[in-house]
């Protein structure tokens, strides 16, 4: 016995159990599923049991016979996944396909869950590492800010010292200019006195020379 899900035209879903050996059409009729009229009673002569098969089951069903293809051409809006439900027999083979498919899906889900868990753990480890790196960067930034603040303080002190030194040098230069000017003035004064003294000496020499000439002209007694 298999569980078959019918999605009707009125957007309702019916999941019913159908015994092996019956067709999907017979399962619908026995369970009063609307939309599958089966006017010909399963003789593949009316296409009133036309259904759309879910894509995941389409390739698992037996291939269509020529007569089914011909009837589907006359069905309402046939599609690639159209089948006559009277030609789909419920069997152990289909049940095994369903079981194997379910088993494979469970295995795939288990693998997927393990993979997701592995990825999650890797992401958690990566996040933990990133968090630690971020915290380390924050600490380094704080240290750098502290070092920068200290360097700024040192620079400011050095700048103030340079200003004081510049003022001192300016003052020393000004004092040096004053002292130099004073020395130059004293030198000029002494030079002036020397010139005056030289002039006096010259005047005395002329006077002595003149006196000597007068003495020579005085007659001796």
User: What are 180-196's pLDDT values in tens digits?
Assistant: 888 888 888 888 888 88
Residues above pLDDT 90, as percent of the chain: 20
Calculate mean pLDDT across residues 69-76: 90
Q: What is the pLDDT of residues 131-181, one digit of tens each?
A: 888 898 999 999 899 988 899 999 899 888 888 888 988 888 888 888 888
Lowest mean pLDDT segment, chosen from 38-52, 62-76, 111-125, 138-152: 111-125
Asked if the model's pLDDT at residue 102 lies above 70, the reply is no
What is the rounded CA–CA span in Å between residue 149 and residue 132?
26
pLDDT confidence of 23, banded at 50, 70, 90?
Answer: very high
95: pLDDT strictly greater than 70: no
Judge whether residue 92 has pLDDT over 60.
yes
How large is the average pLDDT for residues 3-25? 90
H/E segment holding residue 68: helix 66-73
Q: Strand 82-84 vs strand 2-7: parallel, antiparallel, or unpaired?
A: unpaired
Q: Give the phi and the psi of residue 44 in degrees, each rounded to 5.
A: 55, 50
CB 27 within 8 A of CB 1: no
Mean pLDDT of the chain: 85
DSSP E strand boundaries for the chain: 2-7, 13-18, 50-52, 82-84
Q: Model confidence at 103, in pLDDT bands (50, 70, 90)?
A: low
- Paired with 5 in beta bridges are 15
- C-alpha to C-alpha distances, 186 to 62, 143, 173, 174, 197, nearest whole angstrom: 133, 63, 20, 18, 16
State how far the Cα of 34 lies from the Cα of 2, in Å rounded to an integer: 20
**Is the pLDDT assigned to residue 27 strictly greater than 90?**
yes
Residue pair 4/75 in contact (Cβ under 8 Å)? The answer is no
Which pLDDT value is given to residue 97?
Answer: 45
The pair of three-digit structure tokens given for residue 124, joined into one six-digit string: 């958690």
């Amino acid at each position: 016995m298999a569980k078959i899900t019918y999605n009707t035209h009125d957007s309702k879903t019916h999941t019913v159990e159908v015994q092996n050996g019956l067709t999907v059409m017979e399962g619908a009729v026995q369970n009063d599923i609307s939309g599958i009229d089966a006017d010909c009673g399963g003789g593949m002569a009316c296409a009133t049991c036309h259904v759309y098969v879910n894509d995941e089951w389409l390739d698992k069903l037996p291939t269509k016979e020529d007569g089914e293809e011909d009837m589907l051409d006359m069905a309402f809006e046939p599609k690639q996944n159209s089948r006559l439900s009277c030609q789909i027999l419920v069997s152990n083979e289909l049940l095994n396909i369903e079981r194997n498919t379910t088993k494979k899906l469970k295995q795939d889900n288990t693998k997927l869950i393990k993979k997701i868990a592995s990825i999650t753990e890797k992401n958690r480890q990566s996040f933990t590492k990133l968090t630690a790196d971020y915290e380390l960067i924050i600490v380094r930034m704080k240290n750098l800010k502290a070092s920068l603040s200290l360097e700024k303080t040192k620079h400011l002190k050095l700048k103030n010292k340079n200003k004081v030194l510049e003022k001192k040098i300016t003052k020393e230069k000004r004092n040096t200019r004053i002292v130099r000017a004073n020395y130059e003035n004293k030198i000029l004064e002494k030079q002036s006195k020397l010139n005056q003294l030289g002039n006096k000496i010259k005047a005395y020499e002329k006077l002595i020379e003149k006196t000597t000439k007068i003495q020579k002209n005085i007659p001796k007694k």
